Amino acid sequence: MRLFFAVLLDDQTRQHIALVQQAMKRALAGQRISWVKPENLHLTLRFLGELDEEGLKQALEAAQVVARQRAPFRFVARGAGVFPDMRRARVLWVGVEEPVEPLFQLAHHLERELQRRAFPPEDKPFRSHITLARIKEPPPAQVIQSLMDYLPKEPLGAVEVRSFVLMQSILRPDGSLYTPVQEFLLSG
């Protein structure tokens, strides 16, 4: 199973982000971009990749430990950007605004518990964001910059994080299908 841990968005936040995504699609029409379906918008805490039954068991144990020790919190979705930079844009995202510390702590705690169970360390540092699209051929930097300048400055939603989810990802020609495997309620 191809798996990842995620924080799911409430319907209102997802709808606001989907409206921004639609505006971006119009502005970037004709570009080679793979857009995330609105129903798939989420914040990834940790990608796990393909796991066998033992790996799944270990991931579930790690998540249960983390959920018992972390308290619910909230974050605000606002702004947008690209990875790695404007000239080489490959991922278009919506950002997470203050307070971000509880989100970083959740991801860090999850990473630590996974490594205790022999998962290899994440190869990139955690960056809180909600992926909107993957860019196959980056447009000129000025196109991306003008798009960022055009976006609304107000918050796109306040997300109450009371749980996180282990999700299965099935790759299909028409886009990924995400299915929740198990939810972990924050109770710390």
The predicted-structure confidence for 76-102, as pLDDT tens digits, reads as follows 999 889 999 999 999 999 999 877 899
d(CA 162, CA 47): 20
pLDDT at 29: 87
Per the residue annotation, which of 16, 108, 109, 129 is the catalytic one?
129
Architecture of domain 2-185: Alpha-Beta Complex (3.90)
Marked catalytic residue, from 16, 42, 108, 109: 42
Output the pLDDT for position 133: 94
Nearest Cα residue to 109 out of 126, 131, 124, 130: 126
pLDDT digits (tens, 9 = 90+) for 113-133: 999 999 999 988 999 999 999
d(CA 9, CA 163) in angstroms, rounded, equals: 11
Q: Does the annotation mark 129 as catalytic?
A: yes
User: Which residue stretches of the chain have pLDDT < 70?
Assistant: none
How many angstroms separate the CA atoms of 84 and 106, rounded? 24
109 is catalytic: no
Each domain of the chain, given as residue ranges in start order, spans 2-185
Residues 182, 60: contact at Cβ < 8 Å?
Answer: yes
- Spell out the alpha helix ranges (H) of the chain: 11-27, 53-69, 101-116, 141-150
